Amino acid sequence: MLSRFPRLRLGHLPTPFEPLPRLSAALGGPEIWVKRDDCTGLSTGGNKTRKLEFLMAEAVAQGADTVMTQGATQSNHARQTAAAAAKLGLACHLLLEDRTGSTDPNYTGNGNVLLDHLHGATTEARPGGVDMNAELEAAADKARADGRKVYAIPGGGSNPTGALGYVNCAFEMMVQINETGLVFDHLVHATGSAGTQAGLITGLKACNAGLPLLGFGVRAPKQVQEENVFKLACATAEKIGCSGVVTRSDVIANTDYVGAGYGIPTESGLEAIRLFAELEGLLLDPVYSAKGAAGLIDLIRKDRFSKGQRIIFLHTGGSAALFGYDKAFPAK
């Protein structure tokens, strides 16, 4: 189904699929498994690598010599885009939005930002609250007027082309689930720009997986998040030739764990980071995966996910951002 779309093999796939026995025991609830998309391999890995396999293939097919995208200051997507461009010999320019107001030098210059520059990308800062898609198109048009052949990637790589990466992940995960011989009750993950959740639900529904999907939002209100995901899922389903396979009721987001705002750590998220690190040796990031894990942990404690069930946590990566948030983790 997906082989007819251009794709460049940038990731280390399939990513591991494994149980988390110590975390499961500590929480006393369901058996928790993790899909390790922090292990995709491109500049410390993360979920955007799957999307970039299709996006960068499209860029190359269109003859681009420059890729441009946008995101927050500590954008995992920007870092992986810069790495993919370096690997392919393309110029990369990034527009980075200040969504937190932090002036901490580690936040503004370490972590993902440091890696952006190491990969040779150029960056421009933007104030919080501007229309970043409009800013991206304006910057791309200016570069085109200067003679560059620009391929512009939306924030998070979240369009129908990018979402193909998570249609593919859904297929990959179903093979791994079948190999375990076990039954799984739910799949959960952090959801932001909508591409990961949209691709996953499209892939799961297309193969009639019967595996419910829950996205824990990191930015937008529930209704906005769900509508964004549903719209993109419908476009993705149409792209792969199975229009109508996703219904509105398939798209569920829980936005109770956003906290004070995007990119601002929460106490529950920091607890999740410590639990995953101390019990399983896994690194989460404060922006995405920690808030998704915080939601999972809280629902287990509330018995929404209970003993006897098996839950999959899709780890979307992002550990490089930890170095921009070092002050949230005082030494013991």
Confirm if 8 and 56 have CB atoms less than 8 A apart: yes
Confirm if 188 and 216 have CB atoms less than 8 A apart: yes
pLDDT value for 331:
78
pLDDT value for 227:
98
Instruction: Supply the residues annotated as catalytic.
Output: 75
Summarised one tens digit per residue, pLDDT across range 208-259 is 999 999 999 999 999 999 999 999 999 999 999 999 999 999 999 999 999 9
In 3D space, the residue among 90, 87, 2 whose CA is nearest the CA of residue 40 turns out to be: 87
- Inter-helix orientation angle 195-206/222-240, to 10°: 50
- pLDDT of 332 higher than 80: no
- Locate 217 and state its tokens: 């939002």
Phi–psi pair at 101, nearest 5 degrees:
80, 5
The mean pLDDT value for 290-310 works out to: 97
Cα separation values, 41 from 237, 304, 319, Å: 27, 33, 12
Whole-angstrom distance, CA of residue 132 vs CA of residue 155: 8
- Cα within 13 Å of Cα(159), Cβ side: 13
In 3D space, the residue among 143, 215, 182 whose CA is nearest the CA of residue 17 turns out to be: 182
The mean pLDDT value for 304-316 works out to: 97
* Helix (H), strand (E), coil (C) string for 173-193: HHHHHHHHCCCCCEEEEEECC
What is the pLDDT confidence band of residue 183, given thresholds at 50, 70 and 90? very high
Confirm if 303 and 92 have CB atoms less than 8 A apart: no
Summarised one tens digit per residue, pLDDT across range 134-174 is 999 999 999 999 999 999 999 999 999 999 999 999 999 99
Whole-angstrom distance, CA of residue 38 vs CA of residue 42: 9
pLDDT value for 53:
98
Q: Which residue has the tokens 């082309």?
A: 161
The mean pLDDT value for 5-13 works out to: 98
Phi–psi pair at 188, nearest 5 degrees:
-130, 155
Q: Where would I find the beta strands (DSSP E) of 193-232? A: 213-217
Task: Determine the length of the chain.
Answer: 332
Summarised one tens digit per residue, pLDDT across range 29-73 is 999 999 999 999 999 999 999 999 999 999 999 999 999 999 999
The pTM for the full model equals 0.97
Whole-angstrom distance, CA of residue 251 vs CA of residue 213: 8
- pLDDT of 116 higher than 90: yes
What is the pLDDT confidence band of residue 1, given thresholds at 50, 70 and 90? confident
- Cα within 13 Å of Cα(129), Cβ side: 1
Beta strand 17-19 with 31-36 is antiparallel
124 strand-pairing partners = 95
Mean pLDDT, the chain, integer: 97
- Type of residue numbered 281: G
DSSP states of 287-309? TTHHHHHHHHHHHHHTTSS-TT-
Q: Where would I find the beta strands (DSSP E) of 127-223? A: 150-153, 186-191, 213-217
Cis peptide before 14 (omega within 30 of 0): yes
What is the pLDDT confidence band of residue 330, given thresholds at 50, 70 and 90? confident
In 3D space, the residue among 135, 10, 123, 143 whose CA is nearest the CA of residue 64 turns out to be: 143
Confirm if 115 and 71 have CB atoms less than 8 A apart: no
Summarised one tens digit per residue, pLDDT across range 66-102 is 999 999 999 999 999 999 999 999 999 999 999 999 9
